[in-house]
Amino acid sequence: MAKTVVVTGASAGLGRAIAHAFASRGDRVAILARGEQGLAGAAEEVRARGGQALVLPCDVADAAEVDAAATQVEAELGPIDVWVNNAMVGSLSRFLEMEAEEFQRITDVTFLGFVNGSRAALKRMVPRDAGVLVQVGSSLAYRGIPLQSAYCGCKHAIQGFTESVRCELLHDGSRVHLTMVQMPALNTPQFSQVRNRMAKHPMPVAPIYEPEVGADAIVWASEHKRREVWVGASTPAVIIGNALVPTAGDHFLATTAFDGQQAELEPDGGPDYLFAPRAEDMGTRGRFSDQARTRSRQLELTKVLPDWAAGMVSAAAGRGLGALQKLLGG
Q: What amino acid positions are annotated as catalytic residues?
A: 151
Dihedral of the CA atoms 265, 263, 158, 109 (nearest 10)?
Answer: -30
Q: In what order do the strands lie in the sheet with 52-57?
A: 52-57, 28-33, 4-8, 82-85, 132-138, 177-183, 228-230
Phi-psi region of 271 (alpha: psi -120 to 50; beta: other; left: phi over 0): beta
Q: Point out which residues pair with 78 in neighbouring strands.
A: none
d(CA 159, CA 181): 10
CB 26 within 8 A of CB 77: no
Q: Using the 8-state DSSP alphabet, how is residue 286 labeled?
A: -
Closest by CA to 183, choosing from 326, 260, 86, is: 86
d(CA 207, CA 288): 11
